[in-house]
Structure 1
Amino acid sequence: MMQHALIWKRADGTGMEYCTHTLGERTKIEGKVIRSLKEEVSFVEYNVICDELGNTESVMINYIQHNLVQTMKLQKDADHRWTRDGIHIPELDGLKDIDIGATPSTNLLPIRRMRLEVGESEQMTAAWVRFPEFDVLPLQQEYTRLGEELFEYRSASGYTARLHTDAEGIIREYEGEWIQENK
């Protein structure tokens, strides 16, 4: 089992994150994000646990904004049926990955699970947690492996970014968004 501790800084200076990725039989990601946007000052704390195949199994998120504390517990069963705080969310059924919008850390999950060769692409849909809305929606995405440690990410909204990773798939730079400080 390997554990990686990371510090990311927002490219525009509006936030930082401390995160740990535990890679082994089961992937585990834990992080703390400080956001200081003009319209939102907040703190996001999360914990993601995956099954042996790299599929998201459970997610716990605490979101603190202007002294308002909100929590979300997402769980997925063996049949890929999702619940939020115990309530079934049928529009997420069948999805394998979580995408927590406040962090680059969860891009690791589809990158590691898909195991794309250079030049290959794969489309998938993730359970996307949005901020500051603090809801969860399906979001179509596509990953293309451009090089050994370079991927292109595209979402159905038209958003595109290049993701520079290490050999494990951990994001080192999320183009225009996040830069790892402790390389």
Structure 2
Amino acid sequence: MEHTLIWKRLDSTGMEYCTHTLGERIGIIGKVIRSLPDETSFVDYSVTCDEQGNTEIVTIEYLQQNKKQSMRLEKDSYHRWKRDGIHLPELDGFKDIDIGATPSTNWLPIRRLQLQNGESAELTAAWVRFPEFDVLPLKQTYTRLGEHEYEYRSVSGYTARLSTDAEGIVREYEGEWTEGK
């Protein structure tokens, strides 16, 4: 089963077209376009997960102005991460990817954790930052507030309310993104 949606940034600086796939394999494919006064960028990404929703392979191409960069992240069954074949021990043990250019990857821990109303879970994700285009650990907490409502909080203190559909796919990301209709 596939769910395709278009995101719009609330500040009118960007859009995303993405497809979430549910089935034997879980995945997300997306394209993000961002235009700021001093920066124009394009992010093309693909995330493939196992049947439990653990991230396995991530590919990202990042075009900023005239500079093109790419990375391939892979995680084995022991949750050891590699970037372009080089082991990243600081990410070992983490199950989720958080691609900072998109709200779509929040779906992965929401779906995997299966929280009940009022429950919270803390995790650390492999966070791809933009425009730095690096990968760092990022502690996060997800709290289920209602049937289709979650609170996302990062260790930095950043907080956002996330509204989802029945599959856990984020449809509204407070203050940042909304689904285009």
Q: TM-score range with shorter-chain normalisation?
A: over 0.9
Give the counterpart letter for 2:60 in structure 1: I
**Larger displacement relative to structure 2 (30-39 or 164-173):** 30-39
Corresponding position: 1:117 with 2:116? yes
Give the counterpart letter for 2:160 in structure 1: A
| Cα deviation code 1:114-158 (max 9, x no counterpart) | 000000000000000000000000000000000000000000010
| Contact 1:20–1:30, Cα closer than 8 Å, also in 2 | yes
| Cross-structure match for 2:100 | 101
Cα distance, 1:40 vs structure 2: 2.0
What TM-score comes out, normalization by structure 1 length?
Answer: 0.98
Distance in 2 separating the partners of 1:92 and 1:82: 6
Cα distance, 1:53 vs structure 2: 1.2
**Pairwise CA RMSD:** 0.6
Distance in 1 separating the partners of 2:19 and 2:180: 14
Show structure 1 runs of 4+ deviating over 3 A.
none
**Larger displacement relative to structure 2 (109-118 or 29-38):** 29-38
* 1:100-179 equivalences in 2 (<5 Å): 100-179=99-178
* 1:10-49 equivalences in 2 (<5 Å): 10-49=9-48
Point out where structure 2 has 5 or more consecutive residues left out of the alignment.
Answer: none
| Contact 1:40–1:132, Cα closer than 8 Å, also in 2 | no
Cα distance, 1:52 vs structure 2: 1.4
| Cα deviation code 1:39-97 (max 9, x no counterpart) | 32100000000011110000000000111110010000111000000000000000000
**Percentage of identical aligned residues:** 73
Distance in 1 separating the partners of 2:163 and 2:179: 10
Cα distance, 1:38 vs structure 2: 2.8
Distance in 2 separating the partners of 1:49 and 1:23: 11
How many residues are treated as equivalent by the alignment?
Answer: 181
Distance in 1 separating the partners of 2:101 and 2:84: 20
| Cross-structure match for 2:54 | 55
| Cross-structure match for 1:66 | 65
What TM-score comes out, normalization by structure 2 length?
Answer: 0.99
Give the counterpart letter for 1:5 in structure 2: T
Cα distance, 1:113 vs structure 2: 0.1
Distance in 2 separating the partners of 1:38 and 1:147: 38
Point out where structure 1 has 5 or more consecutive residues left out of the alignment.
Answer: none
